[in-house]
Structure 1
């Protein structure tokens, strides 16, 4: 990964980024120039990971070599509205594979409300994003959709599934790397599950079970008020039902 999300990479591009946002990245006239600029910056950011203490690790006991990281494919992360940029990404890179990650909408709503947003806004954003993912899954040549809850239940099984989807050999996958993030505690408080926020840590098949919290979605959903839960469920009912999130 180039360390930064798609929105952050575009933000670094100034006027070029603004043109991409306006849809000119697919223009037959200036599109190739905009795509080349995005691709160049993403590549430079990927190579810069060599000098990053956290991002430069290829394995728990080994760092990337220059020639090794040069040969890796670019892995980009798009959140929410940036999912709409998939056509631009597909035009920028040959042989694109897209992975849509969906999680329980009520847990997502808790995160939005906790940051000061409304349940209604959260529901409309969730509904719009899920429908974009489902639409792209039907129209894109290489697109797979997974549930966040399935990752928590058996991360190595999901990883092996994705490796097969990407045409890679999963048998060498002995460790997974997780990013430390804030989460709801058992009493509803908010803190860090492990390590230092925004740093990555390696886990083997046994350790990762202790690092992941399979009840995190329920804990977040339970923090919603009854009013917010009803509002979110009413607006995003179809999308919640599609992935089995309606009780």
Structure 2
């Protein structure tokens, strides 16, 4: 897929971007070296094009990185005896994305995986949903899970880093591109459906904009600020 250059508010912003380190690093990825016309090309098989869900009988999770680099051997790892795992569930689905307990990383980390695996949350309503334990659990994230029928009281399991677990059926959607327009589009439709918002509302017919400021006082991560507000 390709990603177009940003829409610049003025020539100063445009010149700043074209001279940025990011542009210098990635401009070679533009088809025919024409970034402003063709955008950046993202075409790595593993990082951008491979979407995979594994269903492992007697699967074993050993603190693996839940991302597109998830190795084949790790995905297909199984336990031979109950002593190999701290706990064994009947069914479990893995969403152990770094900082996935926060709203920001739920959207950008767990969202793409949910977009093509939520069907199995519904198909296996007794499956435990494994998410990372953090210093807090954002209320917005808890509410989104609840809207999908995953309540903290009976389905959500907060995974403790460094531990392990198994499941008689381990569902693993980790090998998913972190960035892909189709996955992001499908994730957005999923969020809209939870809020009962129509899917077909034409973008051009909308005349309202919701803008959320991000400042050092209202942001829980002051390192992620909007610098050109």
Does the pair score TM above 0.5?
no
Which one has a larger percent helix, Structure 1 or Structure 2? 1
TM range, normalised to the smaller chain?
Answer: under 0.3
The structure with the larger Rg is 2
TM-score by length of 2: 0.25
TM-score by length of 1: 0.24
